[in-house]
Structure 1
Amino acid sequence: IRRGSRCSTSKAFLRPIRSRRNIHISLNSHATRILINPTTMKAFGVEFVRAGRKHVIIARKEVIMTAGAINTPQILMLSGIGPRKELNKFKIPILKELAVGENLQDHVGMGGFTFLVNKPVSIVQQRFQAFPMTMQYIMNAKGPMTTLGGVEGLAFVNTKYGNRSWPDLQFHMAPASVNSDNGARVRKVLGLTDRLYNTVYRPIANRDVFTLIPLLLRPKSRGWVRLRSKNPFVSPAINANYFDHPDDIKILVEGAKMGVRIAEAQAFKQFGPRVHRIPFPNCSKFRFGSDEYWECHIRT
């Protein structure tokens, strides 16, 4: 957050120092390999491709890997650090055998958990015109564009399955849902099928709603990232392995029930909130609101 507004990492950290003599930022560059001395096992440079040409940068002190949870293991394996079986598969010389790419974890959450309200307090696309809304934000720092990424509230809570010393569940609270743009964009971003959207969300298109999204803070399921090719421009294979551990789904089911209780709290009474009760088509065989129903909803 900068001056009350959300800003990117680039604006917050790179732009203020871009004129320093000791920093060079190479845009549109694809890192392909870490250069490692096979004798000392010390990284001494980085290989990358920019505009179709291969470049090599030699490090005087150190190389810092910050390519994220997916590309970091990919680059390490392409550099010869990883499971022997995976590297042999693509005839990559092995510098160090390590379990690179294993132990992938993700904060999976429950989507589409929607509550109807009686007051015009949520973000409904047809209610706003782009130019007036933008000017309201620029001139007065007010209006829908002041919402930080669509999330207006966060909560960190313990379920009955958690260790009381740290929360095992997080809630994102958003003043909108899948229905808020009448199916124009959000449903496509989330990959909802026509059947799911038309059955559950089209009947409440453009209605005032809010969403509670329970997310796992400490998932127990573990996935993996593996190479599909020794070509660094081929994306790796990813298996998040969601809900492989039974505790993960139990915690999110508990989160759904907690979400209903949150909406029933006294502070929300003035808005008349009630959970949207049209069931997901593939979950209609379960009683709405039962543990079995919430599990089906979450897995969908």
Structure 2
Amino acid sequence: MDPSLSMTDPCPNNLQGVSGQLFLTLLNTLLASKCPLGSSEPYQENYAPKLTDGEEFDFIVIGSGSAGSVVANKLSENENWKVLVLEAGGYPSATSDIPGLLFSLQETVEDWQYATEPSEKACLAMKDGKSKWARGKVLGGTSSLNSMLYVRGNKRDYDEWATMGNVGWEWENVFQHFKSLEKLESEDMNASEMYGRNGYMPLTRYDSDEPIAKTIKEAGQLLNYPSLLEENPLNPLGYMEAMNTIAGGVRVSSAKAFLASVKYRRNLLVALQSFTKKIIIDKKSRIATGVEVVIENRMLKLYAKKEIIVSAGSINSPQLLMLSGIGPKHHLEELGVDVIEDLPVGKNLQDHMIFMGFTVELNNNALKLKHSLHQIDDIYKYFLNRSGDLARISITNLVGFINTKNDSIYPDIQFHHIIYVPDDRYLLPLLGEAMGFRDEVTQRKQDFNKKYPTLEFIPTLLNPKSNGEIYLRTNDPFEKPMIRSGYFTDIGDEDINVLLGGIRFAEKVVESDPFKKHDPKILRANLPACDVFQFRSDEYWKCALRHLSTTLYHQAGTCKMGPLNDNSSVVDSRLKVHGIKNLRVVDGSIMPKIVSGNTQAPIMMIGHKAGVMITEDWRSKRDEL
């Protein structure tokens, strides 16, 4: 329904002449300002209706997310290569474009709407014991619905990849690929040499004007965690306002940065609402030759002269490989899938687990003035000037990296923060639904929030020891896969103890002198199973962790990169699938170990590095002829 149909004038005829003309000018300006939001005009025309059965391309890229858009951009630099991008979703909505509405996109048509299998060890306060795993089913993939934080991780992350046998993935190498895709636009960072200027992805940052953000940083400094101007991969401990993939108050997804910006390239084609069922692989030669794609009621076979590149993400990529006969032999045989290559696809699933149960009540001086008129003013600011709170993500851009064991310069916990205005009727219930909390859990949070602002400290487990796995539920490509998160399954309970260390640090922050002016009060969640324990005891917090820990949407590792002699790997260091020619995986699923930070930036880096490697490999083949 069009909201404008319900608009009425409560006081007709009170503006006449020039005053009426001025008011109509304002209305017309506001109406016109919404036109660019959710528009398909910046992007390539949808090529799907023009596709024909048997059509041939040089490269077919499956998925337009954080990696797929980047690798397609890089390959299409060669005007002699015809590149097709297949995306199962459509164009991003206006809601996707508005940064402040990021939590409104889950469980819409832009979301694959995945959920994990129930577990006895985690997610005990979630409906049906399941963790909701939102993934982008839209042009731009998950970069069209994530929190737009650009965090690269630290030097150790990538150096470890290299020591695991992945040649060329050490920090000094990947750092150059990060810089190549970046376009730094923050004036206060002009002197920085850590970020690139000539790439396609604009990077901006802002200091939140919420008083509580300043307080958090002051407390961090007292606890020996400095405030950082920028991410420092060599010495990454401290608090900072992370870079954002936001420009001019609008989200910049990977598709907007890397596809829309080169829509003039005639050799780069994008097909939307195009669901890839299977990769076509010649069993005798073990060469990937094409894909089977469903577009509305048509089933097409499309072919690639050079390569198929799977960039469907850490859930869809392993699912597609297994449906195509690449995966654990016993599992595929059970489902009647013809096995082509026995590889540990779907194993090594890693994720950044977060705890959503550390809530603090504050007094009103923690926030700048907020009331209904102010919120209307913010809506006006956004649609008129793309400014105000809707053009930002509040204090969610403030992140802190700490080491709970004090045994390294590298972090094991990352803090995110969410602030709720008093009697928050939008964000708080929306997050409760998005996370899948049971109703009574969300209701308790709302009860606490009636009169005063509440703050969520969200410790994030950066280096999980627990691994999960992804299996096919059936051999039907339209059936959602089976996802076992593996949360808290590690031997020795290191994961839960590190998160407990994060909670203990959050307590120190709240009890520090800078916080006293906000009258903080740590609140007890509605968890009857944990009420047998003394509030804030180790036993209580561990019980709460098993109930209220869930995903930060950073799934990785399910098509692990490693040398051929690593029996747990799926692709080699050039991202080629072991045992199959002309097939690569290019997305977060190739991470042998998940990075120590938000995954959007590293996945874009993977896309850029893959594009360079693929170009090198085919230039080498040409030179050999």
TM normalised by structure 2 equals 0.45
Match of 1:65 in 2: 310
Gap change, CA 1:184 and 1:78, over 3 Å in 2: same
2:431 is equivalent to residue 175 of structure 1: no
Is the 2:424–2:446 Cα contact (8 Å) retained in structure 1? no
2:539 corresponds to: 292
- Structure 1 residues 147, 227: CA separation in 2 closer, same or farther (over 3 Å shift)? same
- How much has 1:13 moved relative to structure 2? 2.2
AA aligned to 1:234 is E
Quote the Cα distance in structure 2 between the aligned partners of 1:128 and 1:8. 31
Do the aligned partners of residues 293 and 201 (structure 1) sit closer, same or farther apart at CA in structure 2, a change above 3 Å counting?
farther
Q: 1:39 to 1:166 in 2, by over 3 A?
A: farther
The CA distance in 2 between the partners of 1:124 and 1:40, in whole Å, is: 68
Task: Report the AA paired with residue 282 of structure 2.
Answer: N
- Distance of aligned partners of 1:166 and 1:45 in 2 relative to their CA distance in 1, 3 Å threshold: farther
Mark the CA change 1:45 to 1:206 in structure 2 (over 3 Å): closer, same or farther: farther
Deviations 1:119-155 (A, max 9, x none): 2545999746765322223445553224327613111
- Residue in structure 1 matched with residue 530 of structure 2 by the alignment: 283
Letter of the 1:33 partner, please give it.
Answer: K
Q: In structure 2, give the amino acid aligned to 1:172.
A: H
- 2: CA distance between counterparts of 1:289 and 1:168? 21
TM-superposed CA distance for 1:240, in Å, is 0.5
Shift, 1:165, TM fit: 4.6
Alignment of structure 1 residues 121-200 onto 2, 5 Å: 121-122=366-367, 127=372, 131-139=376-384, 142-148=387-393, 151-160=396-405, 164-176=408-420, 180-181=424-425, 184-200=429-445
**Secondary structure at the counterpart of residue 230 of structure 1:** coil
Give the partner amino acid of 2:540. Y
How far apart in 2 are the matches of 1:92 and 1:178? 54
Residue matched to 2:467: 222
Contact 1:279–1:288 under 8 Å retained in 2: no
TM-fit CA distance, 1:178 = 11
Aligned to 1:27: 272
Computed over aligned residues only, the root mean square deviation of the Cα atoms, in angstroms, reads 2.7
One-letter amino acid of the structure 1 residue matched with residue 340 of structure 2: L
Report the residue type matching 2:263 in the other structure: R
Aligned-partner Cα distance in 2 for 1:39–1:178: 65
Q: In the alignment, is the contact (CA less than 8 A) between 1:114 and 1:275 conserved in 2?
A: yes
> Structure 1 288/201 Cα, relative in aligned 2: closer, same or farther at 3 Å?
farther
Amino acid in the other structure paired with 2:518: F
SS at structure 2 position matched to 1:19: coil
- Using the TM superposition, name which of 75-84 and 181-190 deviates more: 181-190
C-alpha spacing 1:129/1:187, structure 2 compared with 1 (3 Å):
farther
Aligned equivalents of 1:123 and 1:71: distance in 2? 42
- Secondary structure, aligned partner of 1:219: coil
- Counterpart-to-counterpart distance in 1, 2:369 and 2:331: 49
1:253 equivalent to 2:500? Answer: yes
What are the superposed Cα offsets for residues 205-255 of structure 1, whole Å, 9 maximum, x if unpaired? 352121110111111111111111111000111110110011111111111
Q: CA deviation at 1:67?
A: 1.0
Aligned to 2:157: none
Matches of 1:104 and 1:159, distance apart in 2: 24
How many angstroms apart in 1 are the aligned matches of 2:450 and 2:269? 48
- 1:65, CA displacement in angstroms? 1.1
Q: 1:79 is matched with which residue?
A: 324
CA contact (8 A) 2:363 2:518 kept: yes
Partner residue, 1:211: 456
Relative to structure 1, the CA distance from residue 125 to residue 241 in structure 2 (aligned partners, 3 Å threshold; closer, same or farther) is farther
- 1:262 matches 2:506: no
Task: Give secondary structure in 2 for the equivalent of 1:75.
Answer: helix
The letter of the residue matching 1:288 is F
Question: Is contact 1:123-1:176 (8 Å) kept?
Answer: no
Match of 2:342 among 71, 87, 97: 97
Aligned length: 299
Tell whether the 8 Å contact from 1:126 to 1:181 is kept in structure 2 after alignment. Answer: no
> Paired residue for 1:51, among 270, 282, 296?
296
Runs of 5+ unmatched residues, structure 2: 1-244, 548-625
- Pick closer, same or farther for the CA change 1:86–1:126 going to 2, 3 Å: farther
Between the aligned partners of 1:150 and 1:176, the Cα distance in structure 2 is: 10
Whether contact under 8 Å (1:177, 1:210) holds in the other structure is no
| Pair 1:166–1:184, CA change in 2 (3 A) | closer
1:22 shift after superposition: 1.3
Once the 2 structures are TM-superposed, how far is the Cα of residue 49 of structure 1 from its aligned partner? 0.8
Q: Is the partner of 1:299 in helix, strand or coil?
A: helix
Q: Which has the higher contact order (CA 8 A, sep 6+)?
A: 2
- In structure 1, how many angstroms separate the alpha carbons of the residues matched to 2:401 and 2:485? 23
Mapped partners of 2:307, 2:468: distance in 1 = 30
Give the superposition deviation at 1:196.
Answer: 2.5
Q: Is the 8 A contact 1:178 1:201 kept in 2?
A: no
- Identify which of 279, 285, 291 aligns with 1:40: 285
Contact kept, 8 Å, 1:223 with 1:240, in 2: the verdict is yes
- Cα distance in 2, alignment partners of residues 78 and 200 from structure 1: 42
Q: Distance in 1 between matches of 2:359 and 2:442?
A: 13
Deviates more, 1:61-70 or 1:39-48: 39-48
* Cα 1:130/1:271, change in 2 over 3 Å: closer
Distance 1:286 1:201, change over 3 A: farther
Instruction: Please point out which of 10, 27, 38 is paired with 2:255.
Output: 10
SS in 2 for 1:99: coil
Partner of 1:103, secondary structure, is coil
Change (3 A) 1:52 1:243: same
- For the residues of structure 2 that align with 1:31 and 1:243, how far apart are their CA atoms? 34
Q: Aligned in 2, Cα 1:280/1:144: closer, same or farther, shift over 3 Å? A: farther
